[in-house]
Structure 1
Amino acid sequence: MSIGIHDIVGRVSYGCDVLFRVIQIKEENGKTIAILYGEDIRLVAHAPLDDLVKVNESERSARKQKNEEMVRHSLQLFSQDRELLDQKRRFEVSDGYRQQGDYFQIPGKVLHLDGDPSYLKKCMDVYEKIGIPVKGLYCNEKEMPSRITELLEMYRPDILVVTGHDSYSKSKGKMIDINAYRHSWHFVQTVREARKKIPQLDQLVIFAGACQSHFESLIAAGANFASSPSRVNIHALDPVYIVAKISFTPFMERIHVWDVLRNTLTGEKGIGGIETKGVLRTGMPYKSMEEEV
């Protein structure tokens, strides 16, 4: 069975553990090689064409259903957390506001840069469900460092997401060597440029990285949260759950790292970070447009 661009495949040598999209087919050292992007994880890989097998529709549907169940579970956990936050805020503001409807809240604004347009769409759909104000832009990982300053000036976000595809290659060097990673260096440079513009960790909260990214370098560059401490794969939606917690936590509260990680699909092996303030702000008076009519 021939394999072409955009086919959904698995790698036989890995037991078809991950579903990939075929992005490119090329000749390399006399072999036909396919460049692969993970369907649900932020991993880029390459494999000989003869190591690939097409995944049939029934298998794809079964895996899609399992993935959607994981996403629903994470959304449910986040919704529970948000309800607890809302209850706490309603209690705390009751002394300062005459009645429940006197105040309004502004969640943190997000600028999401993604190296994969299909992942970006998936993330934007979840941002919309959760109710987070976001500007999502597709941007090739290699172009992110040169574009970030202009984009920060243009959109003035409270939270920055820098993500896309990444992978570690043992043949290129040891795990501590950032040159052994496909895009970690570009993510690190992007974070550094962002910190030149906004140095304070609580003025701009940054999530950076993708599958197997060089976690230590990203944190050292100035990211609040990053992947991947154990060099494992992360889910396409993990950045959304990170920033959602930050966006809806009041700016006077500090977020413990585990409180952020426990709602992700990957957990502490895939994502880590540092204690960070929330960015939600409360104001008054609240007046709906309906009251004006």
Structure 2
Amino acid sequence: MKIEINDVVGRLSYKCDILFRVIDIRLLDGQRTAILYGEDYRLIADAPFHDLKKMDPREQDRLIQEFRSKEEQSFDLFRQDIELLKQKQEYTMTNAYRDEFNYFQVPGKVLHLDGDPSYLRKCLDLYERIGVPVKGVHCSETEMPNEIGPLIDKYRPNIVVVTGHDAYSKAKGAKSDINAYRHSKYFVQAVREVRRKYPHLDQLVIFAGACQSHFESLIHAGANFASSPSRVNIHALDPVYIVAKICYTGFKDSVNVWDVIRNTLTGDKGLGGVETKGMLRTGMPYKIDEEE
């Protein structure tokens, strides 16, 4: 079966467990090789044509439905978390419901840099569903260290997301060697650029990384949350769940790391971080303009 750019394929050696889209075709080591982006995981890979299977629409639909079911389950759990956070804020503002106050809430603002325009659109849709103010920018991973400083100056966010595609290659070195990763070093450089401007972890919160990224280097560079502690694949929407929880946690409260990652699609094998303060601020009064 002929395989072309933009076809959806699976890798036979991995039992077609992940859907990939072919983004490029090259000649590597004398054989035709496809460059692959994960459809739902932030993974970049390459595979020879003989290891690829073009997925028919029925197989695609089955796998897509499985993923969408997991996404909705994770979203429902996350929405319950957000509702509990809002109830806690309301309880505090109304003096345990003894007083009536008209108040408003200002969640943290997010700047989301993504190396994949398709994933960026998915993330922006989820931010909108949750109600997080966000500016999304498509930027290749290699250019993120150069682009992130001016973008922060322009949009002045409270939270920065630096993500896209990544992968570890055993052939390039040990897991401790950052040069064995496709894009981890660029994520690390971008995080360092942010920390030159905002060195305090609670002044500006950073999520950085993608599938199989070098977690330790990202945390040491100054990220509050990062991927991937066990070098596993992370879901395309995992960064949104993490930063949204921070956005809706009061600035006087700390975000427990386990509370943040427990309802993500990947969990603690793919995501981790350090204790971080929330970004939500509550104000009053909330005034509704009256019609004259």
TM-score range, shorter chain: over 0.9
SS of 1:45's equivalent in the other structure is: strand
Match of 1:111 in 2: 111
For residues 64-120 of structure 1, give each alpha carbon's deviation from its aligned partner in whole angstroms, at most 9, with x where no partner exists: 111111111111111111111111111111139995452111000000000000000
Match of 2:184 in 1: 184
For residues 47-69 of structure 1, give each alpha carbon's deviation from its aligned partner in whole angstroms, at most 9, with x where no partner exists: 00111110111111111111111
Match of 1:284 in 2: 284
Match of 2:269 in 1: 269
Identical positions, percent: 65
Match of 2:79 in 1: 79
Output the TM-score relative to the length of structure 2: 0.98
Is the 8 Å Cα contact of residues 161 and 208 (structure 1) preserved in structure 2?
Answer: yes
Match of 2:33 in 1: 33
- CA RMSD, aligned part only? 1.3
**d(CA) in 2 for partners of 1:88 and 1:173?**
48
Output the TM-score relative to the length of structure 1: 0.97
Unmatched 5+ residue regions in structure 1?
none
Residue correspondences, number: 292
Is the 8 Å Cα contact of residues 93 and 101 (structure 2) preserved in structure 1?
Answer: no
**d(CA) in 2 for partners of 1:20 and 1:117?**
15
Is the 8 Å Cα contact of residues 97 and 103 (structure 1) preserved in structure 2?
Answer: no
Given residue 163 of structure 1, which amino acid in structure 2 is its aligned partner? T
For residues 264-292 of structure 1, give each alpha carbon's deviation from its aligned partner in whole angstroms, at most 9, with x where no partner exists: 00000000000000000011121123x25
1:171 aligns with 2:171: yes
Given residue 25 of structure 1, which amino acid in structure 2 is its aligned partner? I
Is the 8 Å Cα contact of residues 90 and 100 (structure 1) preserved in structure 2?
Answer: no
For residues 103-151 of structure 1, give each alpha carbon's deviation from its aligned partner in whole angstroms, at most 9, with x where no partner exists: 1110000000000000000001100100000000100000000111101
**d(CA) in 1 for partners of 2:89 and 2:57?**
47
Following TM superposition, the consecutive aligned residue runs of length 4 or more in structure 1 with deviations greater than 4 angstroms are 96-101
Q: How does 1:1-293 map to 2 (within 5 A)?
A: 1-95=1-95, 100=100, 102-289=102-289, 291-293=290-292
SS of 1:41's equivalent in the other structure is: coil
**d(CA) in 2 for partners of 1:46 and 1:137?**
26
Is the 8 Å Cα contact of residues 101 and 284 (structure 2) preserved in structure 1?
Answer: no
For residues 166-203 of structure 1, give each alpha carbon's deviation from its aligned partner in whole angstroms, at most 9, with x where no partner exists: 00000000000000000000000000000001111001
